[in-house]
Structure 1
Amino acid sequence: MSYKLVAIDLDDTLLNDDLEISPANREAIEMAVEQGVVVILSTGRMFCSAQRIAQSLHLNFPLLSYNGALIKNTLDGKVLYSNYLPFSLAKNILEFLEPQGYDLNCYVDDKLYVKEISPRIREYINVANVSAEAVGNLTSFLKTEPIKLLVLDEEKVLDRLAETLKRIYGEKITLAKSKPHYLDIVNKGVSKGIALKQICQSFGFTPQEVIAIGDSYNDLDMIRFAGLGVMMGNARDELKKLADYVAPSNLEDGVAHVLKKFVLE
């Protein structure tokens, strides 16, 4: 099979634990692009955060951000696809969550707003390499539809919260975990898989011509969509069982391994 598009998650997939791209991964991506392969970064991160990484790789392709809620051109920032949380729904969710004291991120127009800079949020800011504006009460602050809400807490707490949110909001929202302690809340119909399908249609590629590489729960539907779905060696065992192929870990140049094995001539 000749693969024409490769979609790659960032954190714990392309990036190592120091949040860097290894020379081997960088070289393999550059070689794939030179060969005519479309390389898409697919992440739960903000567009501005992922854009810097895409630019460092000299990628001039659509960039899939916010778990698929927003697709923009890397270079000019032109919006190709978006699916935001409806304002009234987002407001209602914040009214439910804020009194319970959760650490919350609210993303509006590719900017991050928080109640206050807590230790968890400070860690998030450092990892994502973004800034945040503390605005006090988010429910009062919100005046337009956000791209995404994010709850930061312990994994068991978030698992219980996810069940509660499903019970209250049902199919109005989509929940995704990009890390064990991050719970993303996006609009219904938002996922990396759906966004990747949009990108493939725009290029005229079939799923069979696509490789998707990830490590976490929010990568699952993207990996199921692709002709070759790859989980990293550092992914949880329950996720690796669902992949077509398991790559070496993000500390072992797993992305470069996949590109060399399946893409590079």
Structure 2
Amino acid sequence: MSYSMAASDWDDTLVPLGDTIPERTKAALDRIRADGVAMVVVSGRSVHGLRVQLRRNGISLDGLYLIALNGALAVRAWDDEVLFSHQLDPDLAARAARICAEAGAAVMVHHHDQLWTDRPEDFAVRFEAESNDLAPLLVGDFDALDFVPAKLLIGGENALLKPLCERLKSEFADEAEVMLSADFLMEFTAKGVDKGHALRGLCEAIGVPLDEVVAFGDNFNDIPMMKVAGHSVAVADGVRELLEIVDQVTAPSSECGVADVLDELFPSDPM
């Protein structure tokens, strides 16, 4: 099978969480892009946060597509053209935020280079703000926001988030998508907004058949993307539920697992 696009999660897939991209993985990305393969970074991070990460890791924006906020937004990285955007209903966002706050979790909303939150000192908020160069701003009532959020990011200890995730899935089954994206982070987006729907929408927008897409991931929020891609790959330290459904398992991000698969599926042309 010939593939024309590589779509990858960022944290703990391309890059070990809180670290920098391994040189061999970066070299593999540079090589396939130079060969004309379309590259998409698909993440729960905001566009601003992804740009920060790409800049820190020396990755060119030329020809690069970004799917951000767990599928709520897709842009062309090189010129900021928005390909699609999906916001939460403000009332829905406020209702979910109240439940999370009452449960003791930290609620976060991205807006450009700002991170609005009810718990600025929470460890998850500090991580999100520092790793994405975001300014944390205190909000006491999410009804008071003067913009429409694309998603809620909920932070807390895993023992808190797991049952809270199940509660939100049950209470908002017909209104929202809810899934864990890390041990300490949970995504809340509008119904039908996830990485899988976003990848499908991007491919339709730029004319790439889904069966020509290789997708890489490690966590629960990557599962929808794996289900639509032509070839799905999980890193070996990904969550069990993901490992059970993918076509291939590769080495962890710290061991350049994505590079291994890129070298296999997109071999260099012989001179």
**1:260 is matched with which residue: 241, 256, 263?**
263
2:9 matched residue in structure 1:
9
Query: Within the alignment, does 1:31 sit opposite 2:35 as a pair?
Result: no
Going from structure 1 to structure 2, the CA distance change for 1:263 and 1:138 (only over 3 Å counts) comes to farther
TM-score, normalised to structure 1, is 0.93
1:239 matched residue in structure 2:
242
Amino acid at match of 2:258: V
Give aligned pairs, total. Answer: 264
Superposition RMSD in Å: 1.7
Greater Cα shift, 135-144 or 156-165: 135-144
Deviations for 1:227-256, whole angstroms, at most 9, x for unmatched residues?
A: 110000111333212110001111111111
Deviations for 1:100-134, whole angstroms, at most 9, x for unmatched residues?
A: 432111223563111242241213323x3322332
Deviations for 1:114-165, whole angstroms, at most 9, x for unmatched residues?
A: 1242241213323x33223322403253233201111111223212112222
TM alignment of 1:59-78, pairs within 5 A: 59=61, 60-78=63-81
Matched residue of 2:254: which SS?
A: coil
Amino acid at match of 1:248: A
Matched residue of 1:171: which SS?
A: coil
Alpha-carbon contact 1:232-1:249 (below 8 Å) kept: yes
Alpha-carbon contact 1:3-1:210 (below 8 Å) kept: yes
Query: Within the alignment, does 1:171 sit opposite 2:210 as a pair?
Result: no
Gaps of 5+ in 2: none
TM-score, normalised to structure 2, is 0.91
Task: After TM superposition, give the deviation of residue 49 of structure 1 in Å.
Answer: 1.0
Query: Within the alignment, does 1:124 sit opposite 2:128 as a pair?
Result: yes
Alpha-carbon contact 1:7-1:211 (below 8 Å) kept: yes
Matched residue of 1:243: which SS?
A: coil
Matched residue of 1:10: which SS?
A: coil
Going from structure 1 to structure 2, the CA distance change for 1:35 and 1:177 (only over 3 Å counts) comes to same
Gaps of 5+ in 1: none
Query: Within the alignment, does 1:159 sit opposite 2:166 as a pair?
Result: no
Identity of aligned residues (%): 29
Query: Within the alignment, does 1:150 sit opposite 2:158 as a pair?
Result: no
Deviations for 1:3-26, whole angstroms, at most 9, x for unmatched residues?
A: 100001100010124421111011
